[in-house]
């Protein structure tokens, strides 16, 4: 028996498509909207690196705080014994279960405290100018807090293109001063509304400024214990300074918050995915704005045409 093959003509194909469209039209519109919303949510869930459902499945129990330390360190035992947060578990706020949502929230809804610094302009040996913005306990609290020469001083090193006016720096300074300590934000050169007054600006490996400021504060306020807190690039500068000078520094304690550690790996990571590339652009524009504020300086010491081409 011979097999016969029949190819559908154009008319039958059109009828099939028409029937398919008729069937699809019978599906309620809200079903399509629900499907579109689900697809969009799935894309955003991965794009923003959300972990709400993972937290939900774990019963919002959080995860233990992981500590890396020298097992023979006496300092570790002393610190952990007094910091309950290091012995607990970490759980992100459920509706901020993404590092990107947390960043956006702080930037747009962080509501920084109202505070007023007392500015001290510090001149370096090369002619540079550093703005030291002071905040005392009496500046943020109505309660009478005893402040004397022995009151501890916390030196804050902001992140890249950040200064004492940045929201997270204000929160850090306010909470520290509220606990009775003196705070001084060591703004990077050219930031905090101060001009660059020498041929030197700042970078992630430039430790001379923090070294000079710490030595100055120790000399002027020798009875006050000095602590240093660095954030982001400020943390990188701090850690490098500690490694270079070792124990030969007048610092009682230091904290590095979100240090990049390896700038080469950090550069690769920030360009790895689309969401990271957004940060790459933000950082680039921030540096470009910094350069334009001090165009007279950078036009003499750098490739200004290259700076203008940053996009």
Q: For the chain, how many structural domains are there in total?
A: 3
Beta pairing class for 182-186 and 153-157: parallel
- Supply the pLDDT for residue 160: 93
- Supply the pLDDT for residue 223: 94
Residue 2 lies in a domain: no
Residue 236 lies in a domain: yes
Q: Are residues 170 and 97 located together in one domain of the fold?
A: no
Q: Are residues 89 and 230 located together in one domain of the fold?
A: no
- Is pTM beyond 0.75 here? yes
Residue 214 lies in a domain: yes
Residue 308 lies in a domain: no
Q: Decide if 164 contacts 173 (C-beta within 8 A).
A: yes
pLDDT in tens, 130-180: 999 999 988 887 765 667 889 999 999 999 999 999 999 999 999 999 999
Residue 295 lies in a domain: no
Mean pLDDT score across all residues of the chain: 88
Cα angle 79-240-301, degrees, rounded to a multiple of 5: 145
**Mean pLDDT within 236-252:** 94
Token code pair at residue 197: 């007054």
Round to whole Å and give the CA distance between 207 and 215.
12
Q: Are residues 40 and 170 located together in one domain of the fold?
A: no
Expressed as residue numbers, the domain containing 74 is 52-107
User: What is the per-residue burial (b if ≥16 Cβ within 10 Å, else e) of 104-120?
Assistant: eebeeeeeeeebebeee
Q: Are residues 184 and 73 located together in one domain of the fold?
A: no
Q: Are residues 164 and 217 located together in one domain of the fold?
A: yes
Residue 28 lies in a domain: yes
pLDDT in tens, 6-44: 555 555 667 888 888 888 888 888 988 999 999 999 999
Q: Are residues 139 and 239 located together in one domain of the fold?
A: yes
**Mean pLDDT within 248-253:** 93
Q: Are residues 73 and 146 located together in one domain of the fold?
A: no
Q: Are residues 181 and 227 located together in one domain of the fold?
A: yes
Task: Label residue 59 left, alpha or beta by phi (over 0 means left) and psi (-120 to 50 means alpha).
Answer: left
């Amino acid at each position: 028996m011979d097999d016969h093959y029949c190819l559908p003509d154009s008319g039958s194909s059109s009828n099939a498509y028409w029937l398919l469209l008729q069937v699809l039209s019978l599906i309620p519109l809200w079903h399509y909207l629900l499907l579109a919303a689900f697809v969009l949510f799935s894309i955003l869930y991965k794009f923003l690196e959300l972990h709400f459902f993972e937290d939900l499945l774990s019963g919002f129990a959080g995860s233990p705080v992981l500590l890396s330390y020298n097992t023979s360190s006496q300092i570790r035992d002393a610190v952990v014994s007094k910091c309950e947060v290091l012995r607990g578990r970490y759980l992100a706020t459920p509706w901020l279960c993404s590092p990107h949502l947390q960043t956006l929230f702080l930037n747009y809804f962080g509501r920084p405290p109202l505070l007023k610094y007392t500015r001290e302009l510090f001149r370096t040996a090369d002619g540079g100018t550093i703005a030291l913005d002071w905040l005392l306990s009496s500046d943020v609290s109505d309660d009478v807090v005893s402040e004397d020469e022995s009151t501890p001083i916390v030196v804050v090193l902001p992140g890249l293109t950040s200064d004492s006016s940045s929201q997270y720096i204000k929160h850090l300074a306010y909470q520290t001063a509220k606990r009775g300590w003196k705070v001084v934000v060591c703004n990077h050169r050219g930031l905090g509304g101060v001009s660059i007054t020498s041929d030197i600006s700042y970078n992630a490996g430039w430790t001379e400024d923090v070294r000079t400021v710490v030595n100055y504060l120790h000399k002027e306020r020798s009875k006050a214990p000095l602590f240093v807190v660095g954030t982001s690039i400020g943390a990188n500068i701090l850690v490098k300074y500690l490694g270079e000078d070792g124990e030969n520094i007048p610092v009682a304690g230091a904290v590095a918050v979100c240090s990049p550690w390896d700038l080469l790996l950090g550069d690769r990571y920030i360009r790895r995915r689309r969401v990271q590339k957004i940060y790459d652009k933000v950082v680039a524009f921030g540096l470009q704005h910094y350069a334009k504020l001090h165009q007279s300086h950078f036009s003499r010491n750098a490739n200004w045409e290259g700076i203008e081409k940053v996009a």
